[in-house]
Amino acid sequence: MVVLKSHLYPLKEQSILVPVLQSISRPYNALTTIHQQYGDLVLGKVFNKKILFVSIPEHVEEVYSQEARGLLSRDFLYDAKKSLFGDGLINSKKDIWEDQRRIMQPLFTKEAITEWENIVISEADAAINRIKGEADGEINISRVLKQLIQKTFIKILLGISVDNISNKEELINSISTISKGLLPLMIAEIISNGKLMWFMPNKKRQYDEAVNQLKAFVEQEIANKYDQPGHDLISLLVQARDNKTGYTIPKDLIRDEAVNLFFAGQDTTVNTLAWFFYLIGKNATLHKKITEEVNKYKDDKITLENLGKLTYTKAALYETLRLYPSSSALATQAIADVVIGGQNISRGTTIILSTYVTHRHDKLWEHPNEFYPEHFANQTLAGKHKYAFYPYGGGLHNCIGRHFVEMEMLIIIVSCLRAFTFETNKEIKEAASITLKPERDVMVSITLRNA
Ligand code: HEM
């Protein structure tokens, strides 16, 4: 295991106003600059706010364990996120969160998610048939993925077909607008208690409109789940009951959780898959190696069990999540004086976990900035600390959708690679957005296999 050196002397407060302001337009460069300039653990000051940036796995683990002990809390962002997430899992405070997480967890176990396997398979097949007509040409894979994930997710969440929704295009766009608007909102909250947003009235207005549109859609769709529950996720939430306490989910929380899942479950998945096809499209040798493995099992029915055989393909997916973790920084706050990395951190300090920087740390990874699936040989971290790679977060608030989304992404990857090869020679950078997405749509040339 690589153990990186922690600071043995008190950290000096650094003025980081410039990189923090830059982070509104180039968040990943800003995080990298802060750590490159000042080290693995950085105590910064912006206006009157102290911010601790954490990048090495041992310190990440300390943060998660202090959070579990109630010494750190995410509540300082509650008001900023309230209009979108309400009291859903992503935003709720301790008591509501505990009840909700306990009642929702059983719906996301490895066993429970197999219910949704067939929906993903049939939507992936339909998407492949739609693009077959465009094979041997260039396609906008980002757009294909947005539509596919939207169709799949709405079927699972609400049990309806997206084709029956009149404003489906606007809904896709609203998620993008929210994702772009949430980043400045969070940064403004962290460094200026929200005041910085006064200088971006248009961004705020577009964000509010998109949030209202998403909430109106969700509210309308869940209204009839009470009269006619089906097998969709929202109906399961409506009917869920905690056997120990008898707790059931109040109606306004059903709406909040639906919005939370709608946002958390789509953008992250589309981004990861878009980066995956971009990365293999640029690297013919690795593409071939992954396709050879997929081919080896080409006659197997796609099931969760059979997907487990595709160790190299899964390693390539993890490698994509390493290079482009959808949540590339996570924020919490010290609500008591704490010690992290041997440093006394005072109450009120914001703590940023710099996932993007950990995932590309040159002391942790053989080829930090390259697409190198061998990093995950045998799908393990091969002796590395468990927080050298944490695209799904960690501690109490780890991603509830992890098992589902890994199944979903692998089904889509396998289905696509059985049908096509992908190629691109374009360079794409990261966009400024709360989730780490390509700055523009990914265009790839596709060739039909076995044509
Ligand atoms: C590639 C896809 C995904 C990635 C990379 C991802 C990543 C994450 C991360 C990093 C967190 C922790 C956030 C924090 O600590 O504040 C999180 C939480 C969460 N994720 Fe995901 N996620 C993905 C897909 C999904 C899907 C498909 C769903 C729903 C079906 C989902 C639902 C949630 C929810 C509800 C939370 C909040 C959990 C809590 O606070 O208790 N995610 N996710």
DSSP-assigned letters across all residues of 125-169: HHHHHHHHTT-SEEEEHHHHHHHHHHHHHHHHHHS--GGG-TTHH
Q: What is the pTM of this model?
A: 0.93
Mean predicted lDDT score pLDDT of the chain: 91
Nearest to 63 by CA among 242, 283, 297, 331: 331
Burial of residue 308, with CB atoms counted within 10 A of its CB: 0-12 exposed, 13-18 middle, 19 or more buried? exposed
Mean pLDDT of 76-96: 93
CA 262 to ligand 1 center in whole angstroms: 11
The predicted structure's pLDDT at residue 302: 93
Residue 272 CA: which ligand 1 atom is closest?
1
- Residues 6 or more apart from 41 whose CB is under 8 A from it? 6, 7, 11, 52, 53, 54, 55, 56, 59, 340, 341, 343
Residue 429: phi and psi, rounded to 5, are: -100, 175
CB atoms inside a 10 Å sphere around CB 129: 10
The predicted structure's pLDDT at residue 169: 80
CB atoms inside a 10 Å sphere around CB 209: 14
Q: Which two tokens stand for residue 76?
A: 């300082």
Helix, strand, coil percentages (3-state) for the chain, rounded to 5, are: 55, 10, 30
Sign of CA dihedral 137, 289, 273, 356: negative
CA 270 to ligand 1 center in whole angstroms: 13
Burial of residue 120, with CB atoms counted within 10 A of its CB: 0-12 exposed, 13-18 middle, 19 or more buried? buried
Cα 13 from Cα 21, distance rounded (Å): 17
Residue 395 CA: which ligand 1 atom is closest?
15
For ligand 1, atom 17: residue with the closest CA: 399
Q: Which two tokens stand for residue 125?
A: 């097949």
The predicted structure's pLDDT at residue 188: 83
Residues with CB under 6 A from ligand 1: 89-90, 101, 260-261, 264-265, 268-269, 272, 326-327, 330, 391-393, 397, 399-401, 404-405
Mean pLDDT of 201-220: 89
pLDDT tens digits, one per residue of 263-289: 899 999 999 999 999 999 999 999 999
- Residues 6 or more apart from 168 whose CB is under 8 A from it? 150, 162
CA 392 to ligand 1 center in whole angstroms: 6
pLDDT tens digits, one per residue of 358-383: 999 999 999 999 999 999 986 667 78
Task: Let me know: does 357 contact 323? Beta carbons within 8 Å.
Answer: no
CA 284 to ligand 1 center in whole angstroms: 31
For ligand 1, atom 6: residue with the closest CA: 392
Spacing of C-alpha 107 from chain mean position:
19
The predicted structure's pLDDT at residue 319: 97
pLDDT tens digits, one per residue of 147-190: 999 999 999 999 988 888 877 788 878 888 888 888 888 888 88
Instruction: Tell which wins on pLDDT, 147 or 223.
Output: 147
For ligand 1, atom 12: residue with the closest CA: 393
Least confident of 29-33, 101-105, 346-350: 29-33
Residue 327 CA: which ligand 1 atom is closest?
10
Model confidence at 5, pLDDT cuts 50, 70, 90, reads: very low
CA 135 to ligand 1 center in whole angstroms: 33
| 73-96 exposure pattern, b = at least 16 Cβ within 10 A, e = fewer | bbebbeebbeebbbbbbbbbeeeb
CA 151 to ligand 1 center in whole angstroms: 19
pLDDT tens digits, one per residue of 11-50: 889 988 888 888 777 778 889 999 999 999 999 998 889 9
CA 13 to ligand 1 center in whole angstroms: 32
Calculate the CA dihedral of residues 143, 147, 149, 151 and round it to 10 degrees: 180
Between the alpha carbon of residue 132 and those of residues 66, 78, 85, 138, 151, the distances in Å are: 51, 45, 38, 12, 18
Mean pLDDT of 57-66: 98
CB atoms inside a 10 Å sphere around CB 423: 17
CA 117 to ligand 1 center in whole angstroms: 19
Instruction: Tell which wins on pLDDT, 144 or 30.
Output: 144
Residue 108 CA: which ligand 1 atom is closest?
30
Helices 251-282 and 141-158 pack at an angle, to 10 degrees, of 150
Cα 301 from Cα 280, distance rounded (Å): 24
For ligand 1, atom 11: residue with the closest CA: 399
Which one of 333, 399, 408 would you pick to mutate in the ligand 1 pocket, going by the greatest count of ligand atoms within 8 A of its CB? 399
Tokens 């705020």 — which residue?
Answer: 204
The predicted structure's pLDDT at residue 353: 97
Residue 409 CA: which ligand 1 atom is closest?
1
Nearest to 93 by CA among 66, 70, 64: 70
CA 398 to ligand 1 center in whole angstroms: 7
The predicted structure's pLDDT at residue 72: 97
